[in-house]
Amino acid sequence: MIPAHVGIIPDGNRRYGRKYNLPLHKAYEHGIEKLREVVKWSKQLGIKILTVWGFSTENFGRSAVERKIFFSLIERKLREILDSGEMEKNDLKVKIIGRLEKFPRSLQRMFREIEERTVNGGLRVNLAFGYGGRQEIVDACNKIIKKGIKRVDEKIFAKHLYTCDVPDPELVIRTGGEMRLSGFLSWQIAYSELVFLRCLWPELKRSQYVRAVKSFAKRERRFGR
């Protein structure tokens, strides 16, 4: 059994750069190329939804130089992918989630263009930018307050999350050797199965990814029952 929705914390880009003596922009570029591979692998495996953490709210605390490098690279690579028609060819439906207003306006416009051009795609890819699990919960609360809703249950609350239109992830994979979730989809992954891989994100091999995804079939999911 293959999980319908897989979440990914692609950790280890900067450590990869240090390990192979690469400049920061090259390390990030390797990470982006790995994501393109993982999307293809996911389609081959029959995964329906992929949610990938691209940039956290905490990452805004990095140096202005590093942020500029990352934003410039993301904008260049996304433009390259858009102009090539790769997203349409691969039948992707891309959704950008997070506090997007914190990004440069040119990048915000590109996020909107990506969503508009892939609206009819098949494989759903959620890219989390300016994302933090606690911040998502706070944003959901503020949406509910703004609507004047007086009584809230889990279903109502879930309808105000960034991922309100897709089921929760059944499996979460984190690369980089860290054994924590760092606030990734804090509400949604209450019952998700977890896989932690030691390899750095750009080093991830297809065999490792396939093994991680297929390990889901061996898990017994009781949901407390």
Taking the CA atoms of residue 111, residue 115, residue 117 and residue 121 in that order, the dihedral angle to the nearest 10 degrees is 140
What separation, in Å, do the N-terminal and C-terminal C-alpha atoms of the chain show?
21
Q: How far is CA 50 from CA 40, 41, 106, 136, in A?
A: 11, 11, 25, 18
Alpha helices in 5-153, H assignment, sequence order: 13-19, 24-45, 64-84, 86-89, 105-117, 133-147
Q: Is 91 a catalytic residue?
A: no
Q: Is 11 a catalytic residue?
A: yes
Q: How far apart are CA 219 and CA 170, in angstroms?
A: 11
- Which of 13, 21, 59, 120 is catalytic? The answer is 59
DSSP letter string, 152-174? --HHHHHTTSTTTTSPPPSEEEE
- Which of 11, 13, 126, 168 is catalytic? The answer is 11
Task: Determine the angle formed by the axes of helices 24-45 and 206-214, rounding to 10 degrees.
Answer: 50
**Tokens 């081959």 map to which residue?**
44
Residues labelled as active-site residues: 11, 59
